Amino acid sequence: MLYAVIMAGGSGTRFWPASRTLRPKQLLALSGQRTMIQSTSDRLAGLVPPERQLIVTNKVLVDPIAEQLPSHPAENLIGEPAKRDTAPCIGLAAALIAHQDPDAIMAVMPSDHVIGTDEQFCSAISAAEQLVIEDPERIVTFGIKPTYPAESFGYIQRGPAIESGESASGIKAYQVDQFREKPNRETATQYLQSGDFYWNSGIFLWRASVILDAIKANQPTMYSHIQNIADAIGSPDYDAVLEKEFCAIEGTSIDYAVMESYSNVAVIEAPFQWDDVGSWQSLGRLHEADADGNTVVGDHLGIDTTGSILFGESGHTIVTIGVEDLIVVQTKDATLVAPKSAEERVREAVKRLKESGRTDCL
């Protein structure tokens, strides 16, 4: 049976001041009326019902997420006691799913991507499921056809095409040749020109038992802690064991822990639109700009204002005069004003606020 794991533990600091400790990016509505985590869950509704969706997040976000996803069983909202990157997150989810269904297939995805259409996404997930049914030891990932030489994404180099029972659907699948780290501009340009490389979407599908075996083979210490947690499932000591064992894991990404060394990996060329919504400038791709090239979410009056990103909470008007290429974000207790060229420094602002004890703004 197919399960879904939605990874929702990110802090979203690049979206400060809208993103906060108890309301990070995945809990914001950046591309529509629904929040990003709600949209991620909605996308799966026709394929994986809420009772088979696991949300793995920071333990302090369990209650806020429960408010946004009231149809999900409380036991499906998993609070990590510490931030340990994607491999422990996925390992924990796989152990919980395998305990319930030893033959389970699980799709894994971040909670903060914008994807369209839902139908195309579900078709791709179904095609990946078929690839795993045909070869139970196979791991499947999803590659995004690059549109520019991005330096901020990892890349997947494809190998030979895979013939599958789902080939008639028109969805293309290939054996993975290798994974590549984030490249410099020159290398990214070469990847784009070759036509054999995809952006790594961070979306996967595999049997729960297979990913656990892969973690055991490549990260035996991590696996030992996960197994100790699995052994405690259903016992009165489970929460204490989870706290102790999970915190003892040395965090690392699933790409480094498994994907880069696993020999039987397929990549599906994603038939869906995809955006990782990595920073405020992403809004320019998600919302239509006005005649002056401004992307506006909220109430804005602009005079001689061009090429800017303006985001405001309801009931507040932003007025700009004689500015260009700015990011302006207004919330009830903090305002960000920065040139678009300096958007990566938003994290620096969050760090300085934290160092100065300004937790009221975080």
- Specify the CATH number for the domain of residue 131: 3.90.550.10
Looking at residue 167, what is its pLDDT? 52
Q: Do 311 and 220 belong to one domain? A: no
pLDDT in tens, 153-178: 999 999 999 987 555 468 999 999 99
Q: Do 115 and 21 belong to one domain? A: yes
Q: Do 222 and 346 belong to one domain? A: no
Q: What value, to the nearest 5°, has the Cα angle with vertex 215 and ends 159 and 89?
A: 100
How many Å apart are CA 155 and CA 221, to the nearest integer?
28
Q: Do 108 and 146 belong to one domain? A: yes
How many Å apart are CA 244 and CA 240, to the nearest integer?
6
The structural domain count of the chain equals: 2
Looking at residue 315, what is its pLDDT? 84
Looking at residue 165, what is its pLDDT? 57
Looking at residue 166, what is its pLDDT? 53
DSSP code at position 75: G
The enclosing H or E element of 303 equals: strand 299-306
Looking at residue 170, what is its pLDDT? 83
Q: Do 242 and 335 belong to one domain? A: no
DSSP code at position 20: B
Q: Do 227 and 295 belong to one domain? A: no
Q: Are strands 265-269 and 173-180 parallel, antiparallel or unpaired?
A: antiparallel
Phi, psi torsion values for 17, nearest 5 degrees: -90, 0
CB 310 within 8 A of CB 328: yes
Per the structure, the complete domain to which residue 331 belongs is given by 280-361
Looking at residue 84, what is its pLDDT? 96
Q: Do 69 and 179 belong to one domain? A: yes
Q: Do 12 and 71 belong to one domain? A: yes
Phi-psi region of 110 (alpha: psi -120 to 50; beta: other; left: phi over 0): beta
pLDDT in tens, 53-73: 999 999 999 999 999 999 999
pLDDT in tens, 82-134: 999 999 999 999 999 999 999 999 999 999 999 999 999 999 999 999 999 99
Q: Do 238 and 341 belong to one domain? A: no
Q: Do 10 and 105 belong to one domain? A: yes
What CA–CA distances, in Å, run from 60 to 68, 83, 171? 14, 11, 39
- pLDDT < 50 stretches in the chain: 168
CB 272 within 8 A of CB 115: yes
Domain boundary among 275, 304, 333: 275
CB 304 within 8 A of CB 143: no
β-sheet bridge partners, residue 222: none
Domain boundary among 254, 275, 296: 275
Q: Do 79 and 185 belong to one domain? A: yes
Domain boundary among 275, 291, 326: 275
Residue 299 contacts by C-beta under 8 Å, 6 or more apart in sequence? 312, 314, 316, 317, 318
How many Cβ atoms are within 10 Å of 184's Cβ, its own excluded?
Answer: 9
Q: Do 211 and 332 belong to one domain? A: no
Q: Which of 297, 319, 294 is nearest to 308 (CA)?
A: 294
CB 255 within 8 A of CB 176: no
How many Å apart are CA 361 and CA 332, to the nearest integer?
10
Model confidence, pTM: 0.95
